[in-house]
């Protein structure tokens, strides 16, 4: 995949899909800005990339804060002179899964702030820079929960449906500007969010696997491969798409 020397920001890159994506970009020769709210986790990913001979820097940011996203984009461009790709991966789930009538205001506000508004902030500022330079590529991490109903998970589902819509709208707006916008929609994937769910409901492990035709969870590395492919020069005619990586669950 041709991403050599591309300047890439990955948000939420301290663990899970974000960390795997940052490492995968670096393995293919990209220069990666590893952004996460937790500095220690981001530092660990950067160190691993550097030890493997790749190039990476750290930028601590909370995507729910507009000023943090401004700093992230500004510092990246100041250091490298450009921004080729941004992967909007940072995301959270609710503290407590519940039906809509019992859903807490805190969980609604927090999840929407990170998963939806945070993606908007990153897209808005990245697109401004990409318009200046005349090209760019955005890959948003949505979810199977953004394509189909997700029980007891209103804010997460709403935010991921929003990411799918934002992806398609922006792709249409900037299709003539040499800027591509796509999304990936992972199904049940080994990640911190899944671990959190199973720690509360261990009995759900077998139930979840039973609805996945491949009878296993996805791997973060498998999602990362699709993200890097979409961000590469191998997919120049692809924009506005949502690629579902769910082991057949949506079937």
User: Which residues are part of the catalytic machinery?
Assistant: 156
Phi-psi region of 174 (alpha: psi -120 to 50; beta: other; left: phi over 0): alpha
Query: Cα separation of 141 and 128, whole Å?
Result: 20
Query: Cα separation of 219 and 169, whole Å?
Result: 29
Q: Are 88 and 141 in contact (CB under 8 A)?
A: yes
Query: Cα separation of 36 and 28, whole Å?
Result: 21
N-to-C CA span, the chain? 29
Task: Copy the structure tokens of residue 56.
Answer: 């990476």
Distances in whole angstroms, Cα of residue 28 to Cα of each of 13, 31, 37, 192: 17, 9, 25, 25
Q: For residue 118, which of 185, 62, 192, 166 has the smallest C-alpha distance?
A: 62
- Residue whose entry in the numeric block shows the structure tokens 């999602």: 223
Taking the alpha carbons of 238, 167, 126, 79 in that order, is the dihedral positive or negative? negative
């Amino acid at each position: 995949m041709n991403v050599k020397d591309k300047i890439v920001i990955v948000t939420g890159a301290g663990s899970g899909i974000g960390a795997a994506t940052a490492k995968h970009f670096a393995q293919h020769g990209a220069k990666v800005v590893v952004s996460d709210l937790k500095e220690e986790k981001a530092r660990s990913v950067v160190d691993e990339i550097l030890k493997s001979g790749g190039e990476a820097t750290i930028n601590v940011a909370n995507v729910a804060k507009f000023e943090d996203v401004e700093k992230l984009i500004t510092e990246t461009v100041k250091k490298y002179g450009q921004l080729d790709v941004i992967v909007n991966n940072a995301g959270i789930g609710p503290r407590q899964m519940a039906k809509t009538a019992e859903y807490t205001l805190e969980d609604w506000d927090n999840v929407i702030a990170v998963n939806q508004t945070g993606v908007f902030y990153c897209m808005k500022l990245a697109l401004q820079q990409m318009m200046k330079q005349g090209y760019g590529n955005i890959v948003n991490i949505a979810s199977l929960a953004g394509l189909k109903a997700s029980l007891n998970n209103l804010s997460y589902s709403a935010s991921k449906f929003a990411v799918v819509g934002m992806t398609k709208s922006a792709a249409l707006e900037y299709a003539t500007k040499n800027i591509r916008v796509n999304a990936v929609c992972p199904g049940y994937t080994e990640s911190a969010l899944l671990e959190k769910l199973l720690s509360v409901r261990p009995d759900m492990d077998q139930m979840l696997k039973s609805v996945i035709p491949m009878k296993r969870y996805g791997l973060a590395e498998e999602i990362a491969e699709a993200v890097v492919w979409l961000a590469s020069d191998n997919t120049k005619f692809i924009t506005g798409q949502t690629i579902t990586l769910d082991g057949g669950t949506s079937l």
